[in-house]
Amino acid sequence: MSRRIAVRAVVVHDDKLFCVRHKAYAGMAERTYWCAPGGGVDEGEELIQALEREIIEEVGIKPKVGNLLYIQQYTDQENGREQLEFFFHVTNTSDFLVVDAQEASHHDIEIEEFDFIGKNDKKKILPKFLLEEDTQAHINSNSPTKIFNY
């Protein structure tokens, strides 16, 4: 079984999470769900370096990376591949309030739309724990990294 390692940005504003919804690209169908921006770590690449690269590609903003908040490990039911994802707090929230998609090198290819999404919004966010957790309280408390396995 192969393993994919990925990094994700957790940007919170007014109890809402900054999320992206991907287009159909590279043989994948358009996504009906939203997720934290980020993506795969290239071979030999450090986690923080990968997160900076992915956010610049998808959103056009250089993230200021804070603490590691969550780790998620699961087997992707579509392809049977193990996924290991690291979710980092991104502290320059104000930069994400008005995003210029033209600044992102991969936006036209990968991203359908982005938005801040709250628990009461009728949009599906994956992984589900991002809506179930009180992420702002977790950030404020400096609690240890939480790990989700399924």
Is residue 46 helix, strand or coil? coil
Mean pLDDT of 30-45: 90
In sequence order, the β-bridge partners of residue 75 are 82
* Distant-in-sequence, close-in-space partners of 8: CB < 8 Å, separation ≥ 6: 35, 36, 37, 38, 51, 85, 86, 87, 88
Confidence of residue 79 (pLDDT cuts 50, 70, 90): confident
Mean pLDDT of 3-15: 97
Is residue 53 helix, strand or coil? helix
- Contact in structure between 129 and 148 (CB atoms under 8 Å): yes
In sequence order, the β-bridge partners of residue 83 are 4, 74
pLDDT tens per residue, range 11-20: 999 999 999 9
d(CA 13, CA 81): 33
Mean pLDDT of 75-89: 91
Longest dimension (CA), the chain: 41
**Domain over 3-149 is classified CATH 3.90.79.10:** yes
- 59 has a pLDDT exceeding 70: yes
pLDDT tens per residue, range 111-129: 888 999 998 998 999 999 9
- Kindly report which listed range (74-78, 87-91, 92-96, 145-149) carries the lowest average pLDDT score: 74-78
Whether pTM > 0.85 for this model: the answer is: yes
Q: Where are the domains of the chain?
A: 3-149
- 26 has a pLDDT exceeding 60: no
| Res 30: pLDDT | 58
Between 29 and 16, name the one with better pLDDT.
Answer: 16
Confidence of residue 69 (pLDDT cuts 50, 70, 90): very high
Question: Which residue intervals of 64-127 are DSSP H helices?
Answer: 107-110
- Contact in structure between 136 and 12 (CB atoms under 8 Å): yes
